[in-house]
Amino acid sequence: MKELKTIRGMPDLYGLEVQAISFVEKTCEKVFRSFNFKEFRTPILENKSLFERSVGDTSDIIQKEMYELQDRKGENLCLRPEGTAGLVRALITNGLDDLEIKKYFYIGPMFRYERPQKGRKRQFVQAGIELIGDDSINADVEILQVAKIVLEQLSIPSELEINFIGDIECIENFRDYLRDYLQQYKDQIEEKLYFRLLRNPIRALDSKDEKIKDIIKDARPISDFFTEEQKTRFEDIKSLLDSLEINYKVNPNLVRGLDYYTGLVFEFTNNNLGAQNAILGGGRYDNLIADLGGNKIPATGFALGVDRLAEIVVTNLDNSGIFLGSLDSKSKAYAQKLGFKLRSNNPTLNVETYLGNANLNKQLKKADSFGFKFVIIIGQEELNSGVFKLKSLSNTAEDQDMTEKELLEKFS
């Protein structure tokens, strides 16, 4: 039989890792709902052409990252690499592309055939929101507020980078300019890269290639191609962010890797994950719904990498519940009784009534490995006296002697 193995970049998830992932997902859902975003689930499989028409056929995703397959009838399908295109497809196919403002969120697996490394997997979870049908700067700012609150609730330090890329005409003019500009350096750029850049020269702005970085430094910024109206809009967005005390840095090279963006684009970064520092990204996509055959409706949104955020929170995850250890069978029976009372008193409290036969030190280690903050180890002495030592494993609180009644009060 062939050796059993997981597929590269698609690890099984268990222990603290999945605890952190689930915590991030729940936090996202809570915050999304608090802004009245409603859940939308689309299938994991879509027609491949959906992404070619939205994400763009010169993007990395289409060029080299798609998981493609044919079904039994020869339809070209793929595992979704991101959530926006599927949601827009769903709006159109369900007749939801009307003028009503709609707010949707999704949390689910996405697939990209990238080289796996810290913070980068081939199957990963995105949590995203899409605000459909409002072209005001308040919509742009609302989604930034959602992002900010999610990151705050997860206690993840981050920096917000924003840029404004105008409309399709502005982007096209800028592309034409960049093509001419790059042509002067044709001899200095590796041939394959040069021709790839000619197809979508905007990618030169966030290229990782040192030579390109050097060349592009002296190019004119996209803001030179803004209309007066676009200039004002970007200024207005910045003023609104200032008044809401949302800190940001303007990064004129931030262009994002997907073709559907127009107007405001942004990314939140965090330095804990080395090269994979983008933890959340998004922006406005006012043409995508019409481009895919729906009505002309503006939209904006973002998605965050749940696995990426989980890798950052995993270190500060703790378990505020209680570990009830025991040293003999009578104590174990008492621990089960006490555990039952604690849980009935407080259904959200996490109580582990230890089932094995390890000694006291091993039980303490076990409690620590689960991340518990509090431990009680019950033995004959405790049963006789009715007083239990509540041990704190967090270094922040002192150990305390408590009766059963006091314990039930403390953890209610």
Q: Provide the binding-site residues for ligand HAM, judged by CB under 6 A.
A: 82-84, 112, 114, 120-121, 124, 126, 128, 130, 257-258, 278-283, 285, 301-305, 307-308
Question: For ligand HAM, which is the closer residue by CB, 312 or 342?
Answer: 312
Question: For ligand HAM, which is the closer residue by CB, 111 or 225?
Answer: 111
How far apart (Å, rounded) are the C-alpha atoms in residues 171 and 106?
29
Residue from 255, 234, 278 nearest 140 by CA: 234
Question: For ligand HAM, which is the closer residue by CB, 132 or 215?
Answer: 132
Residues 243, 40: contact at Cβ < 8 Å? Answer: no
Contacts of 195 (CB under 8 A, 6+ apart): none
Backbone angles phi, psi at 112, to 5 degrees: -140, 130
Question: For ligand HAM, which is the closer residue by CB, 189 or 258?
Answer: 258
Strand extents, DSSP E, 203-317: 249-250, 264-269, 278-284, 299-305
Question: For ligand HAM, which is the closer residue by CB, 129 or 367?
Answer: 129
Shortest reach from residue 196's CB to ligand HAM, in Å: 19
Strand partners, 124: 110
Shortest reach from residue 178's CB to ligand HAM, in Å: 21
Question: For ligand HAM, which is the closer residue by CB, 127 or 182?
Answer: 127
Question: For ligand HAM, which is the closer residue by CB, 19 or 276?
Answer: 276
Tokens of 90: 């769903």
Residues 137, 146: contact at Cβ < 8 Å? Answer: no
How far apart (Å, rounded) are the C-alpha atoms in residues 408 and 385?
17
The residue number with the shortest CB distance to ligand HAM is 305
Consecutive H or E run containing 365: helix 360-370
Contacts of 170 (CB under 8 A, 6+ apart): 222, 225, 226, 227, 230
Shortest reach from residue 233's CB to ligand HAM, in Å: 18
Shortest reach from residue 403's CB to ligand HAM, in Å: 49
**CA angle, 144 then 145 then 149, to 5°:** 115
How far apart (Å, rounded) are the C-alpha atoms in residues 89 and 84?
9
Shortest reach from residue 58's CB to ligand HAM, in Å: 15
How far apart (Å, rounded) are the C-alpha atoms in residues 299 and 286?
5
How far apart (Å, rounded) are the C-alpha atoms in residues 56 and 260?
7
Question: For ligand HAM, which is the closer residue by CB, 306 or 376?
Answer: 306
Question: For ligand HAM, which is the closer residue by CB, 139 or 216?
Answer: 139
Shortest reach from residue 135's CB to ligand HAM, in Å: 15
Shortest reach from residue 44's CB to ligand HAM, in Å: 14
Consecutive H or E run containing 143: helix 137-153
How far apart (Å, rounded) are the C-alpha atoms in residues 333 and 383?
11
Shortest reach from residue 81's CB to ligand HAM, in Å: 7
Shortest reach from residue 288's CB to ligand HAM, in Å: 9
Report the amino acid identity of residue 327: L
Question: For ligand HAM, which is the closer residue by CB, 53 or 112?
Answer: 112
How far apart (Å, rounded) are the C-alpha atoms in residues 288 and 293?
9
Shortest reach from residue 317's CB to ligand HAM, in Å: 19
Residues 87, 80: contact at Cβ < 8 Å? Answer: no
How far apart (Å, rounded) are the C-alpha atoms in residues 154 and 158?
11
